[in-house]
Structure 1
Amino acid sequence: MAMFQGGIKAAAKMLAGLSKAAREKVLETISKKDPQMAEALHKSMYTFDDLQYLTPMMLIELLRSVKVADMGLALRIAAPALKEHVLKNTPRVMRQEIEEILMGPPQLASKVEEAQERIMAIVREKIDKGQLIINKDSSETLV
């Protein structure tokens, strides 16, 4: 059998493109042979910067489920496009709170990464439940 050359990130990207049912079946099969690999793939399917592909309504729904302080911290090392997307689509009071944390005193990188992981755990759960959709293909419209 040929060895897969793309690594976990490439495999996770392919998995993310599958239907929910197909993705679950593949992850379940992998999990039986290598639970750590299945978990690594599940975590790698979506990155924090992928949140820029959420619709404004989905972003607001996500913000209701996460700590505003976590979002402020997590955005410190986010792509500029994601920062802009979050701040542009966040209600004013919440945006002010996020900006205060974002512009506040320096934080340990580990604290920022932990905040991102807490948010991504919620994101993965919502994606698995069908409550969020990360649509990287902007030519495809969500209805």
Structure 2
Amino acid sequence: MDFIKRDDIKKNALPGRVVQNAVGHNSAVLSEKMTVSFCHYSAESGPMEPHNHAEESVVVLSCKDAYVKWGSGKDSLEHTVELHEGDLMHFPPLEWHVFGYKEGGYLDALCIYGQVTNIRPEEIQAENV
């Protein structure tokens, strides 16, 4: 068994969020089958752009005045739901979505993917260049 404390995982500041790669490729615990990351969204990281990527499940660990928007396109996020601790979201592959928060709010979440490459928007863009 591998055991690691979140505080011991390197923080990666990315546009709109801070990611701590817990399990997967180039992560604290190596895996070639899955990716698990702690993600923190707040004003400190700036707003996140609507994006789509690989199939994903997200568990809300804690939050304040946070929400998720999703829909049929980057400019058409027709649905909005307020988030609460313990909520689970599942995004099918390539579904457009974005996390947000009101002033002073934040979202702390656990993001889970069933693969280790070509997951995040930055990786997809780099692969298509």
Give the structure-2-normalised TM-score. 0.34
Greater strand percent: which structure? 2
Is the helix fraction higher in 1 or 2? 1
TM-score (norm. length: structure 1): 0.32
Computing the radius of gyration over CA atoms, which structure comes out larger, 1 or 2?
1
